[in-house]
Chains A and B, each alone.
Chain A
Amino acid sequence: MRPILMKGHERPLTFLKYNRDGDLLFSCAKDHNPTVWFADNGERLGTYRGHNGAVWCCDVSRDSARLITGSADQTAKLWNVQTGQQLFTFNFDSPARAVDFSVGDRLAVITTDPFMELSSAIHVKRIANDPADQVGESALILKGPQGRINRAVWGPLNRTIISAGEDAVIRIWDSETGKLLKENDKEVGHKKTITSLAKSVDGSHFLTGSLDKSAKLWDIRTLTLIKTYVTERPVNAVAMSPLLDHVVLGGGQDASAVTTTDHRAGKFEAKFYDKVLQEEIGGVKGHFGPINALAFNPDGKSFSSGGEDGYVRLHHFDSDYFNIKI
């Protein structure tokens, strides 16, 4: 395959997200402008101007009308996807990190980093249908985990919120009462910071990637460990194919060590694993730095990766990918 290279960002990529139809690709980077691209040919549709810091995460509503972004400028913003217009700004006292729309797009979960003497927190916000009615108050604030919360997503039927972060523990919270329902078993869990979390298409299980050089597959309700994928470099990004039983892990050395080594030694590939057999299928090379973000097109026929090198690489699979045998 010949990937499409998209150089719209000046700084390292942080997050990638496809809309539900898979025709738009949203990219966030440490520069201040989230960008939307056409996912088939990589043409840039527009940028969302207004943030004043690195943008860590984004999510798009099911109807592809609204975008929510979380940024280090201590805000999360709602945007009109089509025009790039800012609809609302949620202000926090510390940098916002992860954002996720609930099923139905009526709620959003936003996590904030620990900052000064403030501890990290998970905020649940109600999203109004009409942006004019939007209010900034949190419906619920969850506190407790130590360190940054790198990802927080909604569980089945919006009843739970799953969070993971620097303390390497995956937690399931009740989204109504804010009670901590479950923590993962320390014996089998990650040993280092969890950097990424991706839900399966049907929402029955999810995958976490960690700096302990592994990725783990968990049941979303019982939080039991299903599979472990071991690799030889820290995992910064994970994605699951919606079409085949494949998982993709992206990562690489720390950014600080990159310039001191040959790029061939950096292992900056996106590694494909068989979801069931936990065996490596192959690697896709290309980035000149660690991979920070991965996303699968909802049709499963293409995926994109975003790297520390500031490039988004959009890969449309060759036909032989679909009948790879182990």
Chain B
Amino acid sequence: MTLMTAQNQPAKLRWGEFEEDDVDDLDFLLPPKQLIGPDENGIKKVIEYKFNEDGNKFNVTTTSRTRKLANARLSKRAVERRSWPKFGDAVHEDVGARLTMVSTEEILLERPRTPGSKAEEPKAGGDSLAQLGKGGAALKLCRTCGKKGDHWTSQCPYKDLAPQAEAFSDKPPTSDAAAGAAGTGKYVPPSVRAGADRTGSDMRRRNDENSVRVTNLPEDTREPDLLELFRPFGAVSRVYVALDKNTSISRGFGFVNFVNREDAQRAINKLNGYGYDNLILRVEWATPRTN
């Protein structure tokens, strides 16, 4: 967070006494850099003084917070190692290199199913293969044949059949209307043809499916809170809270994606108008459904 306060206070020396080029050499007139903190919260302030192009003095206050990652107890040897000098390529490390960064994204340990629910869920048309991968059954949704909880897309038994739909006409691989259309001589764009590689826009759209918009969120709500709120309704594949880029304060809305549409619908029914932290939540489908 950088705060610029222009102090419209004229430089001590008259501008006329100097040549233009001298402006760069005025730095000695500036007060030295100030460092306040770090205080008990790890907040550190650095105040630097500079001249701008017009010769006005201004200060730049940089406030930064150092987070303690873990208050781990370190052995004496480890503490000693902390002060070892850098070596190898690390010696010439310039500050701009930014080799180490803290992820801007909050990563959660994503549970395969809601805690407390049964491992074995009744599966539609379950065959013996389905029993093999019982973990994460709720998440299994085949994108090739649309079967839920049966197998992963990569293991779809119909995957190989899909591109040769005509050859195996006795076994229609998908309920896709485009598959039939291919035989009728009507032009079907390659991207919609049966068995087409749907990695483009189609994949993106999938992400929006069963997406629920939550508005009027309290400012201090974070993704884990939202997850906690929505998880009881079913498997959640994504939680997102919109944060202001500069202040990192919540903008008061977010999105929750459910694996199952029914779960999303139940969450909407239940949580729309729900009082959460003294605000009344508004929960609705993120994209207006066409059907």
Contact = CB atoms under 8 A, between A and B. Distances in A.
B133 A21 contact: no
A280 B70 contact: no
A232 interface: yes
A232 B152 contact: yes
B183 to A, nearest CB: 28
Given A3-B103, A8-B99, A280-B112, A47 B152 contact: no
B107 A232 contact: no
A43 B154 contact: no
A282 B111 CA distance: 4
21 contacts: A2-B102, A4-B102, A7-B100, A22-B72, A23-B78, A41-B69, A46-B88, A48-B88, A49-B88, A49-B89, A82-B84, A230-B135, A261-B199, A265-B203, A282-B110, A284-B110, A286-B103, A286-B105, A299-B72, A316-B69, A318-B224
Nearest to B112: A280
A6 B103 CA distance: 10
B119 interface: yes
B72 A45 contact: no
A48 B91 CA distance: 12
Interface in B188-242: 199, 203, 207, 224
A264 interface: yes
B87 interface: yes
Contacts of A84: 87-88
A281 B109 contact: yes
Nearest to A317: B109
B132 interface: yes
Contacts of B273: none
Interface in B73-101: 74-75, 77-78, 81-82, 84, 86-91, 93, 98-101
B105 to A, nearest CB: 7
Interface residues of A, number: 59
Given A23-B74, A46-B88, 11 more contacts: A3-B102, A5-B102, A7-B98, A35-B89, A64-B77, A230-B135, A280-B112, A280-B136, A301-B70, A301-B72, A315-B107
Interface string A14-40: 000000011110000000010101101
B111 to A, nearest CB: 5
A325 B114 CA distance: 11
A21 B74 contact: yes
Interface in B119-146: 119, 132-133, 135-136
A38 B86 CA distance: 11
A279 B135 contact: yes
B88 A3 contact: no
Nearest to A47: B88
Interface in A273-323: 279-286, 299, 301-302, 313, 315-318, 321
A42 interface: yes
A272 to B, nearest CB: 7
Given A7-B99, A46-B86, A265-B153, A316 B70 contact: yes
Contacts of B132: 230
A153 B103 CA distance: 34
B112 A282 contact: yes
A267 to B, nearest CB: 9
Contacts of A315: 107
A321 B109 contact: yes
Interface in A157-210: none
Contacts of A46: 86-91
A290 B129 CA distance: 26
B64 interface: no
A227 interface: no
Given A280-B135, A325-B115, A45 B84 contact: yes
A300 to B, nearest CB: 11
A35 B86 CA distance: 11
Given A261-B199, A284-B107, A21 B78 contact: yes
B17 interface: no
A47 B93 CA distance: 11
B110 A283 contact: yes
B106 interface: yes
A264 B224 CA distance: 21
A83 interface: yes
Nearest to A283: B110
A11 interface: no
B155 interface: yes
Contacts of B154: 232, 265
A282 B203 CA distance: 23
A115 B106 CA distance: 45
A232 B101 CA distance: 31
Interface string A40-67: 1111111111000000000000011000
A262 interface: yes
Given A3-B103, A43-B100, A282-B109, A302 B70 contact: yes
B103 A2 contact: yes
B87, B98, B109, B119 — which one has the most chain A CB atoms within 10 A of its CB? B109
Given A265-B153, A280-B135, A272 B82 contact: no
